[in-house]
């Protein structure tokens, strides 16, 4: 029997493992998210992949047909960056928020820019609000505005970058020290059992996976991309890859995260999660921790 780890996040999300799926532009749809929920994590539908509420509602119904387990929604807000208009703002998203609430979704995430209006509406409806950010400053702001959980992404991760972004190690340990109310979810460069356990030891209630989930059979990207950009490339010894990941500019990173250094194969999502949990149990046993269930207070 593989070890079970219970946290405040697994309790409120009603999931088996303290794991949440990242928000995927273009890819965050039911066929990709449902297998993650089925494997015991919290699958995420990315709302801006659907340009009208009717299509969004249809996707929620499709997701429900594919899994009976909990799943969440992400709202990635358009940041105030010049010439950046790929995403939507809070007012654009409010009809989507209402549709998700009406559908019975209990956990929703916001990211890319502050989203107090959405967070307030989620709390009014009794939902859990998770906000994803890249810096300590923004984590403090989300905490003050009442986010229940804050995903803080280290610069090892991909997606939106910030000149003040720090490593996952520093982001997590500092945020754990200074945030007053919100609980933490770790993201950025985590792709195996050691990274997963390290994040929990740093105070995370869960871990958010992004690039790792692209290296799965269910991810709807080309096999060529999976092999050339995820399996074959090793970020620890590739100069061009290193420069792109650490470019410190306020735009999307054009490459996957530094976690590619830990990815050696393409396997189903269920197998990916099972491997992390089985390896975690082996490591914990090496530490002298031999329990079927580990209950964390946070």
Q: What is the pLDDT of residues 205-262, one digit of tens each?
A: 999 999 999 999 999 999 999 998 899 987 777 777 677 666 655 455 556 788 999 9
Angstrom distance (rounded) from CA 62 to CA 59:
5
pLDDT exceeds 80 at position 148? yes
Q: Identify the domain containing residue 222 by its residue range.
A: 4-295
Q: What is the pLDDT of residues 171-210, one digit of tens each?
A: 999 999 999 999 999 999 999 999 999 999 999 999 999 9
CB 39 within 8 A of CB 269: yes
* pLDDT score of 42: 98
Categorize the per-residue pLDDT at 84 as very low, low, confident or very high, splitting at 50, 70 and 90.
low
- Alpha helical stretches, state H, the chain: 8-13, 30-38, 53-66, 90-103, 116-124, 136-144, 168-178, 193-201, 211-214, 223-225, 239-245, 269-286
Q: How many domains does the chain have?
A: 1
94-99 contact pairs (CB < 8 A, 24+): 94/118, 94/121, 95/53, 96/47, 96/50, 96/53, 96/56, 97/121, 97/122, 99/53, 99/56, 99/57, 99/60
Angstrom distance (rounded) from CA 40 to CA 18:
9
What are the beta bridge partners of residue 111?
Answer: 76, 132
* pLDDT score of 18: 98
* pLDDT score of 149: 98
Angstrom distance (rounded) from CA 144 to CA 154:
21
Neighbours of 54 (CB within 10 A): 10
Residue 140, domain CATH: 3.20.20.70
The pLDDT of 102-129, averaged and rounded, is 95
Beta-carbon contacts of residue 49 (< 8 Å; ≥ 6 apart): 25, 26, 27, 28, 29, 59
* pLDDT score of 251: 56
Least confident of 86-90, 120-124, 280-284: 86-90
**Three state DSSP letters for 45-99:** EEHHHCCCHHHHHHHHHHHHHHCCCCEEEEEEECCCCCCCCCCECHHHHHHHHHH
* pLDDT score of 155: 86
Beta-carbon contacts of residue 279 (< 8 Å; ≥ 6 apart): 192, 193, 194
The pLDDT of 6-18, averaged and rounded, is 98
Q: What is the pLDDT of residues 32-49, one digit of tens each?
A: 999 999 999 999 999 999
Categorize the per-residue pLDDT at 81 as very low, low, confident or very high, splitting at 50, 70 and 90.
low
pLDDT exceeds 90 at position 87? no
The pLDDT of 142-167, averaged and rounded, is 88
Angstrom distance (rounded) from CA 232 to CA 217:
16
What are the beta bridge partners of residue 206?
Answer: 185
Please give the order of strands across the beta sheet that includes 107-111.
Answer: 19-21, 204-209, 183-187, 149-153, 128-133, 107-111, 71-76, 43-46
* 86 or 100, greater pLDDT: 100
From first CA to last CA, the distance across the chain in angstroms is 24
The pLDDT of 165-169, averaged and rounded, is 91
Torsion sign across C-alpha atoms 91, 93, 98, 104? negative
């Amino acid at each position: 029997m593989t070890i079970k780890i219970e946290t405040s996040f697994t309790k409120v999300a009603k999931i088996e493992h303290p794991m949440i799926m990242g928000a995927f532009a273009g890819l965050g749809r039911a066929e990709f998210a449902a297998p993650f929920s089925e494997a015991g994590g919290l699958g995420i539908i990315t709302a801006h992949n659907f340009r009208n509420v009717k299509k969004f509602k249809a996707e929620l119904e499709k997701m429900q047909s594919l899994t009976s387990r909990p799943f969440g929604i992400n709202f990635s807000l358009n940041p105030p960056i010049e010439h950046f208009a790929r995403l939507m703002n809070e007012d654009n998203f409010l009809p989507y928020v209402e549709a998700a609430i009406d559908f019975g979704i209990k956990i929703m995430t916001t990211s890319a820019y502050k989203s107090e209006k959405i967070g307030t509406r989620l709390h009014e409806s009794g939902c859990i609000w998770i906000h994803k950010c890249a810096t300590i400053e923004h984590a403090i702001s989300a905490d003050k505005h009442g986010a229940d959980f804050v995903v803080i992404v280290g610069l090892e991760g991909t997606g939106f970058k910030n000149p003040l972004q720090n490593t996952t190690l520093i982001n997590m340990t500092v945020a754990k020290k200074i945030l007053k109310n919100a609980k933490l979810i770790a993201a950025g460069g985590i792709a195996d059992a050691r990274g997963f356990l390290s994040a929990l030891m740093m105070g995370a209630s869960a871990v958010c996976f992004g690039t790792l989930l692209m290296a799965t059979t269910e991810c709807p990207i080309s096999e060529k991309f999976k092999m050339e950009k995820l399996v074959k490339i090793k970020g620890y010894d590739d100069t061009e890859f290193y420069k792109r990941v650490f470019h410190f500019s306020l735009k999307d990173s054009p490459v996957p995260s530094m976690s590619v250094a830990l990815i050696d194969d393409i396997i189903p999502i269920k197998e990916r999660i099972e491997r992390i949990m089985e390896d975690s149990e082996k490591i914990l046993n090496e530490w002298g921790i031999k329990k079927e269930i580990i209950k964390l207070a946070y």
